[in-house]
Amino acid sequence: MDKQLGVMVVPLEDVLGFLEPISSKTSFSAWYTLILVVILSVFGLGFVRYKNKKTSHLSTSIQFNEAKTSVMVQCKKRTIHFDEAVDLRFWDLVKTLKEQRVNSISFSDFDNSIFDEHYQANQYSIKRGLLINHINRKLEVDFVETRKENHDKRFKRIVFDFKVLDLG
């Protein structure tokens, strides 16, 4: 040991002699394990990229113009234009729910998001029904519908079928 530097000096032959048994003991199973890890990593990265690519297309089926005065919706290989104020609020809500991967909303949350006037309960019901019929008729598919909640049948939710919108 070199007392000046505080470092132990070891001959190079001893270091190489120490490493040689380690490299000779490497078996085929270690190589197969390494190859398996690399292949799984490549597939994992490919799956993540595929999911990210699929997610990036989610909002392409609903596009607002720059001034947010109209919206274009891709459905059944057609482009449908909406330009009424209530339609714009509806599609803004739908786009937000779609990006959050939520396909339903309660009646009260829907009414608060869409209708800016304060109506009585039966007026909300009428306006909501008219809007749902208007959207489905214009899209020519049942994109929006009402369903009873699973856990409490007394309440209904508005459910969106995002599969009918073109995702690309």
Strand, coil or helix: 81: strand
Instruction: For residue 28, give the amino acid letter.
Output: F
**Cα 98 from Cα 58, distance rounded (Å):** 7
Question: Strands 62-64 and 71-75, how do they pair?
Answer: antiparallel
**Cα 165 from Cα 122, distance rounded (Å):** 30
Q: What is the pLDDT of residue 57?
A: 44
> Kind and range of the H or E element at 145?
strand 144-148
Strand, coil or helix: 91: helix
64, 56 in Cβ contact below 8 A?
no
Q: What is the pLDDT of residue 134?
A: 93
Q: What is the pLDDT of residue 118?
A: 74
* 27-84 residue pLDDT tens: 667 777 878 888 888 888 787 777 665 544 444 577 777 777 888 888 877 888 898 8
Residue 154 has pLDDT above 50, yes or no: yes
**Cα 83 from Cα 77, distance rounded (Å):** 20
Q: Among 121, 131, 135, which Cα is nearest to 165's?
A: 135
| Maximum alpha-carbon separation in the chain | 94
